[in-house]
Amino acid sequence: MPLDLFGDVAVRRAPRSLLRRVLTICSIALHAIVISAIVFVQLFAVGPLPLPHRPLIFAELRAVRLVDIPPPSSPRKAPSDPRAAVMSPGAPLDMPHEIRNAMPRETGCGSGPTGCILTGLDGIERGSVAFDPRGIVDGSATPPPPPPPPVPQKPVRLHAGMQAPVKVVHVDPIYPAIAQQARVQGVVILEAIIDERGVVKSVSVLRSIPLLDPAALDAVRRWRFTPARLNGEAVPVVMTVTVRFTLDR
């Protein structure tokens, strides 16, 4: 029999299930009392009732008044004097006297193709202009600038739809003696850039065999091809070249 820690007499404790039932019944009774109080207060409450909403009605009818809108005014007529339409008010029509005196004068003009010499107010020659009977004016003072150099076209990689280059000059690679003695053989893969004339411009190694690379590079640089064409125009291309070295040969 368990003993109470704070008393001298042993007391039997109530089972937990009985305690839970008592608490549940008390909670239900308390909620019922609160709900009943709220309902009875609403039933016996005394006060004015809310007014119902008024329906939408028309208070009065008014006639619509029509107002005539005047037509737009006629567009403004263009001035009869064309100079007045071009020149703004107050703009001078003649060249100012100061600007006219500051302009260079033509001296030494002849009837032939020699041309005229332009001289300023200070007596210094500003330049000469030669006249050609064909209508071409040659200004020796300000020659036309030279045309810009053509932009080199970038090589494109060989693909379908292009006319591939065809090798017309072939040079066999020279098998190095040290590679023959070492019994080295295989395939060297190179990437060559061929210009629009069919000349090999540069070669780089993609798959290397150190003893055979120099011979393969020297041979491919001396190859010649027909120009590759794209839409009928010669273009530089990038293509892959393989060089095979075999000891049986």
Which DSSP string do the residues of 209-236 spell out, in sequence order? -TTTHHHHHHHHHT-EEPPEEETTEEE-
Three-state DSSP state, 179:
helix
Q: Give the model's pLDDT for residue 208.
A: 93
Q: What angle do CA 168, 172, 174 make, to 5 degrees?
A: 155
153 vs 239 pLDDT, higher one: 239
pLDDT value at position 79?
58
Confidence check: pLDDT of 145 > 60: yes
What are the angstrom distances between the C-alpha of 207 and each of 91, 96, 128, 136, 194?
Answer: 79, 79, 66, 61, 19
- Distance CA(111)–CA(115), nearest Å, equals 8
> Mean pLDDT over residues 230-243, rounded?
91
Dump pLDDT digits (tens) for 89-102.
555 666 666 666 65
Query: Which of 20-29, 70-79, 101-110, 234-243 has the lowest average pLDDT?
Result: 101-110
Highest mean pLDDT among 19-23, 124-128, 159-163, 167-171: 167-171
45 or 155, higher pLDDT: 155
Who wins on pLDDT, 100 or 243? 243
Higher pLDDT among residues 243 and 249, named by residue: 243
- For the chain, the domains span 101-139, 156-245
Task: Report whether 216 contacts 244 (CB < 8 A).
Answer: no
Q: Residue 200: pLDDT above 90? A: yes
Report, as an integer, the average pLDDT of 223-234: 92
Q: What is the dihedral of CA 190, 194, 200, 201, to 10 degrees?
A: -100
Q: What is the CATH number of domain 156-245?
A: 3.30.2420.10
pLDDT tens, residue by residue, 32-85: 999 988 887 777 766 666 676 666 555 566 777 777 777 777 766 665 655 544
**Residue among 247, 184, 239 at smallest CA distance from 212:** 184
Mean pLDDT of 169-174: 93
**Residue 66, pLDDT score:** 76
The structure tokens 């308390």 sit at: 30
Residue 215: per-residue pLDDT: 94
Predicted confidence (pLDDT) at residue 8 exceeds the cutoff of 50:
no
Structure confidence at residue 176 as a pLDDT band (50, 70, 90) = very high
Q: How confident is the model at residue 9 (pLDDT cuts 50, 70, 90)?
A: very low
Using left for φ > 0, alpha for ψ between -120 and 50, and beta otherwise, residue 218 falls in alpha
* Residue 113, pLDDT score: 44
Q: N- to C-terminal Cα distance for the chain?
A: 112
Place of tokens 């590079």: 217
Q: Tell whether the model's pLDDT for residue 114 goes beyond 50.
A: no
